[in-house]
Amino acid sequence: MSPCCGFRFSSNTKPGGPMPQPQSLPQAQAQAKIPCRPAPLLPLVLAAGLLVSACGGGDKAPQAKSVSAPTVRAAMFDARECRSLPAEVRSRNSVVLASKISGTVVEVMAAEGDVVEKGQSILRIDDSELRQRMQAVQSTAQQAGLERQALTARSALAKVNMERMQKLYAQQAISQDELDRARTEFQTLKKQEQAMAASAASAGHQGAEARSLLGYSLVTAPFRGVLSRRFVDQGAFVNAGAPLASVDEMAPGGDAQGGYELEAQADESLLPLVGVGMQVLGLVPSLSPAPFITRLTTVVGRVDPATRTFKVRADYKAPALQANATQTAEQPPGQPSRQDNATQASAHANRPRAGMFGKVCVPVAKTRKLLIPASAIRQRGELTTALVVDEKGVLRLRLVKVGGAFLKAELDGQSYIVQAQTEALTEPGVLLEVLSGLTEGETVVNGGPETLREGDRLAVKP
């Protein structure tokens, strides 16, 4: 018999006998004289206590702290959205120089990037062979001149002899045959004199041609500009007509920037909206993130059937450089300051180059967008978040969905937004469109340390 749940069953029943009746636990213990042991619950209680202790023994949650961080309000912007067209910086007047003679480049007088004046020598081609040919032509012309003089003298003598024969023939002193021979000799010498005169003239023309070709051995700049490219080096052999160098013309005032323009291919849907003189925005990201106002100078009305685009051009105008005119205490007066040197170096570095990438932004329509600075967005892995400041000054982490990146420009009293490159998100002034997650007027932390977290409190409410 064994105890179970306070009852004891007897096992000494006979087969076919009546079912034994349950006895109470005290009666069973009294009959069997066996002590009752409690159920093994103590190990379970101890294990549960250890589990609770282990779960509660981790690090404590970080405590909220008082922080200081810049903030910005999410605001709606009313501006004219611009259609960005990929463009290329090109010189308004760019020429490729070539020579009419073949030869070896024996001297190079200018390097790529140099500013060359009108008529300044760029390179020289070996002209020794051309000079020898010119000397040979001169000798031929001189010989032809001497032979012509001899023929002229003989022709004059033949003419006198013919006239004398005519008188004798009139007196019937000579035969007709003798007169004919005298007349033929005179005519032959006259023709030879004319042929030699033509040979002398031809030699003279060949000499003039050689002298003119001799001038092409020295390649010079046709105007004041920048030597944008040199195709050959010293020692190279060039054929007649081969490109040697490329020169980009400067503006009349000497400004290299004034001689450039932006050329873009516009979609055919913009053809009814654009025209010569239309005010547009220009942008060259590699020189400056700031757009500038310019005007269209050329609109080619023919649409390319392959690309469904047409060509437009706009003047390039460099954004003004912010120069610091103050001098430092240790800088002696009368000498260029470090800021001036830095400004000059920056101006040289910001000089446009033909082939640079740019944009022509055509205003198309007014728009209204919710924009915040790109620095207000915090990436948490693949999540895009922002820290919003509630009415109590406590930071709340908010998931947001952003759209395009824009640059806002206030030019001539009008507001424009221009699409920015995605790799320029770290540049100052880049704004992101908020599609969801924020509402107008909410205060958002703009930058600040990465240690900011939800629950922190701003030291001073915005």
Q: Domain containing 152: what range?
A: 127-216
- What pLDDT does residue 63 have? 62
Do 379 and 454 belong to one domain?
Answer: yes
Give strand pairing partners of 121: 220
Helix, strand, or coil here: 75? Answer: strand
Tell me which of 165, 188, 216 is where a domain ends. 216
Cβ neighbourhood burial of 230 (10 Å; 0-12, 13-18, 19+) = buried
Residue 451 covered by a domain? yes
Q: Which residues contact 439 (CB under 8 A, 6 or more apart)?
A: 74, 370
- What pLDDT does residue 10 have? 42
Please give the distance of CA 36 from its chain centroid, rounded to a whole number.
Answer: 94
Residue 176 covered by a domain? yes
Is the pTM of the predicted complex or chain greater than 0.85?
Answer: no
Higher pLDDT, 352 or 90: 90
Q: How far apart are CA 353 and CA 409, in angstroms?
A: 24
Residue 323 covered by a domain? no
Say if residue 11's pLDDT is above 60: no
- What pLDDT does residue 460 have? 60
Do 454 and 377 belong to one domain?
Answer: yes
Question: What would the mean pLDDT of 403-413 be, rounded to a whole number?
Answer: 79
Residue 257 covered by a domain? no
- What pLDDT does residue 121 have? 92
Q: How many domains does the chain have?
A: 2
pLDDT in tens, 52-67: 444 444 455 556 678 8
Instruction: Specify the DSSP element, H or E, that contains 243.
Output: strand 243-249
Q: How far apart are CA 365 and CA 294, in angstroms?
A: 18
Q: Cβ distance 261 to 295 under 8 Å? A: no
Question: What would the mean pLDDT of 131-146 be, rounded to a whole number?
Answer: 83
pLDDT in tens, 87-113: 999 888 889 999 888 899 999 999 988
Cβ neighbourhood burial of 332 (10 Å; 0-12, 13-18, 19+) = exposed
Provide the CATH number for the domain around residue 385. Answer: 2.40.420.20
Residue 193 covered by a domain? yes
Residue 70 covered by a domain? yes
Tell me which of 193, 216, 239 is where a domain ends. 216
Question: What would the mean pLDDT of 60-80 be, rounded to a whole number?
Answer: 78
- What pLDDT does residue 353 have? 78
Structure tokens at 218: 């020295």
Say if residue 140's pLDDT is above 70: yes
Question: What would the mean pLDDT of 29-54 be, rounded to a whole number?
Answer: 44
State the amino acid at position 306 in one-letter form: A
298-to-133, 271, 293, 316 alpha-carbon distances in Å: 49, 12, 16, 13
Say if residue 358's pLDDT is above 70: yes
Say if residue 363's pLDDT is above 60: yes
Read off the pLDDT band of 426 (50, 70, 90): low
Do 208 and 133 belong to one domain?
Answer: yes
Structure tokens at 445: 């932390």
Residue 263 covered by a domain? no
Structure tokens at 284: 């060259």
Tell me which of 183, 216, 249 is where a domain ends. 216
Question: What would the mean pLDDT of 108-137 be, rounded to a whole number?
Answer: 88
Higher pLDDT, 318 or 264: 264
Average pLDDT, the chain: 77
Residue 300 covered by a domain? no
Structure tokens at 363: 């205003």
